[in-house]
Amino acid sequence: MSLEVIPVERGRDLSRFVDVPWRIPAVVNDPAWVPPLRMMVRDNLDTKGNPFYRDAERRLFIARRDGKVVGRIAAIENRAHNRTWDDRVGFFGFFECVDDAGVAARLFDAAGAWLAGRGLTVMRGPMSPSTNQECGLLVDGFQEHPQFLTPWNPPYYEGLLDGAGFSMAKELLGYWLPYGEPGFQLDPKLSALAQRAAERANMTFRDLQPHRFWAEVEIVWEVYNSAWERNWGFVPMTRDEFLHMAKSLKPLLVPQFAFVAEVGGAPAGFMLCVPDYNVVLKGNRNGRLFPLGLARILRGKSTLRTGRIIALGIKEEFRSRSILPVFMHEAARRALAYGSPGAEASWILEENTAMRQPVESFGGRVYRRWRVFDRPIGR
């Protein structure tokens, strides 16, 4: 049987690249799979419209065997990452593949060759296309559908990467916060501690105000880049990147789960939780936003009660051992008032004990794991 890996150009080829998951039986037939919104995938690949690519380039490849699509991969040079971290790392993402080590090897080799031609020495991923979007390969927690905007893949993908010579770079955790589960109660001691810490820090919380959304986004952008600047792999988002992301999230937000912390009236941190729209998108089998996908999202916005904490950041000058519990307590208080059975907090670096300890003290338990892999280029 003939196997070929071909570069993707424009137009119909890009549409074929986006369509690949629907061509992998082990993906599309798994009950946990949630069809991605094609429009969001295209946006994350859009070299003209997405500001990420003003400081990055990518090359897309599709694998075909006897004319039948059997896989895809994106090779990504993120110049902003290499400038920030002073290294020569290239990335791969948007990886999909049948359960065939030969197909996977050819895809990885094609991506690696393109990255090598740009003078890069390590291939890291999956990043689709960066740590500010979806990243990591799911290695544990396959039994339930993925939360909105998190990666999902069949279990055999891990073996494909192991067999291709990749090794673990970092482990990323997803916590389940069981706020509304039967028997869950906020520990009165933790509540008292959080209240005292908030009073001591002169910290108050307020919802993001929809009528002044773009002014609020400017505040959150400044906090975001300040809060994550020392996190592994983090690259500060440009203003245009952040505004681009905010534009796509704006219609999806529930105000009481997008809130800002202020100390003496000055922005000190924020938390962003989005409803789990995957609950309704599971039924959107073709992945198209129109005509039914958008209707499902809008109907679900007021009814969904589970969600995902996608960002929690505190400026360095306001951090203390007691501030994170204050945030966790505020999130729990709001979730209980909303009637939420729980939420996912992801992703959190396995080594980030400063974040993990307060999450666990509020009942959080690890229930998913993603892994980021490295392989030397030129292997």
Which residue, 114, 143, 172, sits at the end of a domain? Answer: 172
Residues 162 and 304 in one domain: no
pLDDT at 55: 97
Structural domain includes residue 348:
yes
Residues 202 and 306 in one domain: yes
Residue 284 CA, distance from chain mean position? 20
| Region of poorest pLDDT, from 32-41, 57-66, 313-322, 364-373 | 313-322
Q: How far apart are CA 106 and CA 3, in angstroms?
A: 9
In this predicted structure, the answer to whether residue 10 has a pLDDT above a threshold of 60 is: yes
Residues 323 and 356 in one domain: yes
Residues 165 and 46 in one domain: yes
pLDDT at 15: 93
Residues 34 and 181 in one domain: no
pLDDT tens digit sequence for 256-303: 899 999 998 899 999 999 999 999 999 999 999 887 888 888 888 889
Which residue, 142, 172, 202, sits at the end of a domain? Answer: 172
Number of folded domains in the chain?
Answer: 2
Residues 329 and 345 in one domain: yes
Residues 195 and 166 in one domain: no
In this predicted structure, the answer to whether residue 217 has a pLDDT above a threshold of 60 is: yes
pLDDT at 379: 55
Structural domain includes residue 359:
yes
Interior angle at CA 360, CA 188 and CA 234, nearest 5? 130
Structural domain includes residue 374:
no
pLDDT at 372: 98
The DSSP bridge partners found for residue 3 are: 65
pTM score > 0.85 for this model? yes
Domain of residue 205, residue span: 177-369
pLDDT tens digit sequence for 87-101: 999 999 999 999 999
Q: How far apart are CA 245 and CA 50, in angstroms?
A: 9
Residues 165 and 284 in one domain: no
Residues 303 and 190 in one domain: yes
Residues 210 and 342 in one domain: yes
- Domain containing 65 — which CATH number? 3.40.630.30
Residues 141 and 232 in one domain: no
Structural domain includes residue 325:
yes
The DSSP bridge partners found for residue 373 are: 125, 168
Q: How far apart are CA 173 and CA 368, in angstroms?
A: 6
pLDDT tens digit sequence for 359-373: 998 889 999 999 999
Q: How far apart are CA 134 and CA 93, in angstroms?
A: 9
Residues 342 and 221 in one domain: yes
In this predicted structure, the answer to whether residue 229 has a pLDDT above a threshold of 80 is: no
Structural domain includes residue 28:
yes
Structural domain includes residue 376:
no
Q: Could you tell me the pLDDT band of residue 190, with boundaries at 50, 70 and 90?
A: confident
If you search the block for the tokens 């690696």, which residue do you land on? 112
Structural domain includes residue 353:
yes
| Of 287, 301, 305, 371, nearest in space to 342 by CA | 305
pLDDT at 1: 66
pLDDT tens digit sequence for 146-188: 999 999 999 999 999 999 999 999 999 999 999 888 878 777 8
